[in-house]
Amino acid sequence: MVELLLVVGVLVSMFVAYNIGGSTTGPAFGPAVGADAISKSGAAALMGVFFFIGAWTIGRNVVTKLGTELVVDPAVFTLEASITVLFFIGIALLVGNVFGVPASTSMTAVGAIAGLGLAGGVLDLAVMGEILVWWIVSPIIGFWVSLIIGRYFYARLNRAVAMERSTGPLLEVDRSGVVPIPRVHPTTNRRELIGTITVVAIGCLMAFSSGTSNIANAVAPLVGSGELAMNPAIIFGGVAVAIGAFTIARRTLETMGSDITELPLTAAIVVAGVSSTLVVFLSALGIPASFVVIATMSIVGLGWGRATRPVTVSEVVGDQQTPPVTVDALAGDEPGEELPPIGEEPTESAPSGGDLFKPATTARVVLMQNIVPAIATVGAYLTFRFLPVFGF
């Protein structure tokens, strides 16, 4: 019976990891995919590799801590309870992935474990309070930093970087020799190459950070129960994450890369840089990093900042000789595209800054990222509290 339960537990754990791959690939590589710096398949491959590296190296420490610090009595993680916790984590994440919204794995997992702790009266409220404070503060920081950059510095940053996409592919494969060798395409400019490498590298850093923290969300209950060793758990989790990245993550890549706001390469670097910096900072403090929410709010902040960039005083009160406001003045894009006067509808040749920020999609993302952890928390609490099989 124990062996059968363990098999069920491993399958449920892999189901959770599968959904982690679906929900975290978007925030890590959505900006790069949205900027056409990498394909969805390439993003999935890099996600699988760097997630596993992070999980295998630093992640094992987080696996140990998650099962001992959030609850004052780790004995609560029986095999049956661990499977139930993992089930609610997986179902909640699946809901977010079905709607194409990358839910926070850390918030969902901590919510499910908190539901178990509340039902059993073993939740450490001090630790939970510290986590909640950082979960509130960190997305606000990401939002405002990105908004300020988008509103006041993005235009100059974009002109300085000037990483516009060339007409041809970034790389080409030289098949003249025995071994095919990738080479930079002749049409690729140097800044485009550097920018592409940068945004992909930051995505790899975020994937690594995800592995260091999110592997615990999939396997910590089982490892904490003592029924599954650390190394096999990480291997099972890493494989499932890679499968999720190649399959269900495609919708979240679209949401994070293009549905919330249009992301040229410069914007992708800003979002990834702000998000990854905050994630590393939280990880250094030992806080389960909700980098999905941080990345989402960074994208929202940058899009809002770019869409609401103020014009200068001379543009507002100037005479008839004042030049028209252009897209590069509003959002830092290509110079020379005139915008319509304030209050007029945009035309095909004069896009609106509001096109850079999509409130409807943003509202859907924010709503789902609050609903998904709530599903896991309430579901776990009610189950452990009122089902007599758990004895709470």
Per residue in 185-217, pLDDT (tens digit) is: 666 667 677 777 887 888 898 899 888 888 988
Q: The pTM is what?
A: 0.71
Q: How far from 337 is each of 194, 219, 384, CA to CA, in Å?
A: 26, 52, 60
Return the higher-pLDDT residue of 147 and 77: 147
Would you state the pLDDT for residue 324?
Answer: 41
Q: What's the rounded mean pLDDT across residues 87-107?
A: 74
- pLDDT surpassing 70 at residue 341: no
Would you state the pLDDT for residue 351?
Answer: 40
Per residue in 128-163, pLDDT (tens digit) is: 898 889 888 999 999 999 999 988 888 887 776 655
Would you state the pLDDT for residue 46?
Answer: 95
Nearest to 74 by CA among 85, 86, 83, 66: 66
CA distance 260 to 267: 13
pLDDT band at residue 50 using 50, 70 and 90 as cut-offs: very high
Return the higher-pLDDT residue of 240 and 344: 240
Per residue in 281-305, pLDDT (tens digit) is: 777 777 777 776 787 788 889 888 8
- pLDDT surpassing 50 at residue 320: no
Nearest to 271 by CA among 312, 238, 232, 300: 300
- pLDDT surpassing 50 at residue 333: no
Would you state the pLDDT for residue 92?
Answer: 75
- Cβ-contact 105, 21 below 8 angstroms: no
Would you state the pLDDT for residue 97?
Answer: 67
Contacts of 65 (CB under 8 A, 6+ apart): 216, 286
pLDDT band at residue 334 using 50, 70 and 90 as cut-offs: very low
Q: How many CB atoms lie within 10 A of CB 43?
A: 28
Average per-residue pLDDT for the chain: 76
